[in-house]
Chains A and B, each alone.
Chain A
Amino acid sequence: MMNDTVIAQLKDIVGEANVLTDKADLVTYSYDATADLPSRMPDVIVLPATTAEVRHIVLIAKKNKLAVYPRGAGTNLSGGTIPLQRGIVLSFQRMDRILEVDPENLTATVQAGVVIQALNDAVAPYGLMYPPDPGTVTTATMGGSVAECAGGLRGLKYGVTKHYVLGMEVVLASGEVFRFGGKTVKNVTAYDFASLFVGSEGTLGIITQITVKLVPPPQYRKAMLATFQRLEDAGNTVTGIIKAHIIPATLEIMDRVTIQTVENYAKVGLPTDAEALLLIEVDGGSQDLVDAEAEAVLKVIVEHGGKVRLAQSEVERDRIWTARRAALPALAQVSPTTILEDATVPRNRIADMLVAVQDIARRYRLRIGTFGHAGDGNLHPTILTDVRNAEEMERVHRAVDEIFATALRLGGTLSGEHGIGLAKMKYLGDELNGSGLNLMRCLKDALDPDSILNPAKMVPLKRSL
């Protein structure tokens, strides 16, 4: 139970200024970036500065059986940080120190609240980069993106967050501080704890420090824009490129609705009569290599009836990526509510998925723009709607159900990069079955027996099983 004693104890730990209880403050931590979900005010927000403070807060929560909701920037798209059972929001916004950049081991160690872009800015002078680049790279925190296993535009060649985490410091629900991994490239000591905590969405432990791998950025690159008159041709081109053993750094798609909306919004000269676009970049360590890859990609595009334009300058390249980055903002301008999904399928089924989404949009009379990381099989069907229109929202929910069912039918998964959180919990059994849900329950019970860590997210509560 939350009471004045608890508040006073929290103030003792982090100082009065870093404990927020004003109702107006509570409102501002009651939601995250996910549309169409319930919001709930926490009892209190605590902003610690050190791991020791986090530990003390967890001990208080444990003693008083209070929910603890770790929160970075609150930019996730699965409702993962909404404090559904009130309790304590543990904000990492002040824990934003880059503890070390190690150019000899190509690693960096950061506190959980460091913004991804800030890490990239700090390692750039060493000629290094941290590749995971979710759309929220300028706001999202390392802790949040590790807890959600964020992806981004470079996933195809460079992988996603889980491929870069070497070690962590985690505060467990027991109040113990657990450190594992470090700067070694290899490490098979005991279980693969990184895999346990990356993507755990704050349900198994509270990430306070992370050591990540850095890489030198590619020196050469070539971007191109391919235009298709049939959606299937674009999808088959994606499969064709992968099948030809070319791994572009980025291989993105936009459907007709997205193309037209982006052009209307950003005026970057996209062909508005096209049915689909592929935006592609190959990169590498030498010009010859990059030229050869670009040539091979070009061949596949032409074979599938696409027209291609190579970026002739940095300005043209920037224009292509400006168009891609404008996709979500442009779609978001169209209507008050933007529902962004991230169903993901094997890459050879991308054409089927694209066509299925178009069909769903037609049948449910909805406006859906689809774009996304085609090379990863990771699409973002984006439904343009208005939560104030109950009748339409009913159709939206049925369409979303069907999008997920389709992804699973095609051998895909519910979420490529946004996570389960609150938004997709009800579909979890469809992918993992009873045995999967039981395993999750076992893990959760073992690590967090009192269910105080981000309760009612990802792992269904006991009584609802």
Chain B
Amino acid sequence: MNTALFDSLDGVADALSRCMKCGNCMAVCPVYLTEKREASYARGKLAIAEAVLRGDLRLDDESVQEKLFNCIVCTSCMQSCPCGVDVSGIVIALRAALARGNGLPAIKKLIFRTLRNPPLFNRLMKTGASLQGLGLRRIPGDAGYELRFNVGLLAKRIFPGLAATPFREQAPERISFHKPRATAAFFTGCTFNYIFPGVAWDVVQVLVENDVEIVIPAGQQCCGIALLAHGDVEGARDLARKNLDIMDTCGADHIVTACGSCGESWQHGFPNLLADDPVYGPMADFWKSRTFDISTFLTEVVPFRKPEGRIAATVTYHDSCHLKKVMKVFAEPRTILQSIPGVTLKEMARPDACCGSGGSYTITHPETSAGISGRKIADLLRTGADEVVTGCPGCMMQISEGLSRAKQTMAAGHYISLLARSYREAG
């Protein structure tokens, strides 16, 4: 992916010319496997992109737009592409061209403006938290909420609960040690901040247990991946610069994330977005190699203390797409899980098959997303595991919702929570 792709369609033709239409991407595309349409997966989308560049199709054709947005950007296709076609770059480039051309749909504009305005975003999420009991009914187990009243498309969705107090308002900005092994800034991301503060606290606890000084800058913002995925390149750039300013001055040596999308943004998104920026480009490159998923940080940067608390459970691990396919993190979470006394890791079939979340995809394409989720839930239930964990809060929400639909009481957790629990059990 490069900036030329984001800012104009000029680079797209070259990127497209690499595709030889072999169709390998069909076998791994979660959308195709659910819908069975040529336009569902990469080969078809690239053909549509070619037709747009040739002038045979119009970018503002409603059907073209619908097909361009019917992609989770999970990058599964890119893992099996023999020709190294930058599918996500091309898809985002076309979405960006669309956003530049006729702007984003009004509702998306509103959402993205909110993401870029932290005080407003914060206020909305807190208001939502205090009101959620009115319109939503808590589901048994820990899956979240469903609507009390039937409201069209959203009727069958299950919503995760919002935290009454966001994590960053609960947490101190700095947790210091006399002789820390390292100083790490915790980039929390929105989902941990507003929906899963408990997991964020588990990250903090694990870092504390390993004598890592922690900085949690209150001013950190959304990573912007949702904006970028929808083609709002300038919005994503704006957030990237703000996050760089904050992290660059917080005094940390490393950035730690616990979310595949946030980690991906630091490792790939920011450097790509800002490649031509004389000030922020080098800064993004600097932090690119100093950002780690918490599992990599604990296995490669500050080797973690062996947990001693026993958790007698069979656990299965779902690979988040952005964590495995973009950040290439898949061995480390398993190493952590296997280090916990009593934990047996039992792999599901296709652990790295997408769960169908894709951030907003699950809301914009509920039927396909539910189909994808159904396969994932069947695969993981077949292991007979007591617990399912992953490394991404988006996957946690999606899998928990799927489990709830399948009448299961179990909810998906984060692997770091198991490590934190083991440390706690040991006392």
Contacts and interface: CB of A to CB of B under 8 A. Distances in A.
B38 A25 contact: yes
B61 A75 contact: no
B378 interface: no
A400 B81 CA distance: 27
A94 B36 contact: yes
Interface string B10-49: 0000000110111110110000000011110001100110
A332 B81 CA distance: 11
Given A22-B63, A328-B82, A73 B48 contact: no
A330 to B, nearest CB: 8
A23 B26 contact: no
A130 interface: no
B364 to A, nearest CB: 18
Contacts of B84: 333
A49 to B, nearest CB: 10
Chain B residues touching A, range? 20 to 34
B67 interface: yes
Interface stretch (A30-38, A268-276, A353-361): A30-38
Contacts of A348: none
Contacts of B67: 24-25
Contacts of B18: 333, 336
A241 interface: no
B26 A24 contact: no
A9 interface: no
A33 B63 contact: no
Nearest to B27: A138
Contact of B27 (A96, A117, A337): A117
Consensus secondary structure, chain A interface:
loop
B131 interface: no
Given A27-B56, A30-B47, A329 B83 contact: yes
Interface string B36-75: 1111000110011001000011000101100100000000
B22 A93 contact: no
Contacts, number: 86
Interface string B207-251: 000000000000000000000000000000000000000000000
A236 interface: no
A160 interface: no
A25 B37 contact: yes
Given A27-B48, A31-B47, A332 B23 contact: no
A338 B83 CA distance: 11
B65 to A, nearest CB: 9
Interface in A186-233: none
Contacts of B23: 33, 73-75, 136, 139
A22 B62 CA distance: 10
Contact of A338 (B20, B26, B39, B48): B20
B47 A27 contact: yes
Nearest to B23: A75
Nearest to A31: B21
B57 A23 contact: yes
Given A23-B63, A28-B48, A139-B27, A75 B39 contact: no
Nearest to B49: A27
A115 interface: yes
A20 interface: yes
A306 B219 CA distance: 67
Contacts of A115: 27
Contact of B63 (A24, A117, A336): A24
B54 to A, nearest CB: 10
16 contacts: A24-B39, A24-B63, A24-B67, A25-B67, A27-B47, A28-B39, A28-B43, A28-B44, A28-B47, A33-B20, A74-B23, A75-B22, A136-B23, A138-B27, A139-B27, A332-B83
Interface of A: 20, 22-25, 27-35, 45, 47, 73-75, 91, 93-94, 96, 115, 117, 136, 138-139, 328-329, 332-333, 336-338, 386, 388
Given A23-B57, A28-B47, 8 more contacts: A24-B51, A32-B21, A47-B36, A73-B26, A115-B27, A139-B27, A332-B82, A337-B20
Name the 3 nearest CB pairs between A and B, nearest first: A329-B82, A28-B44, A28-B38
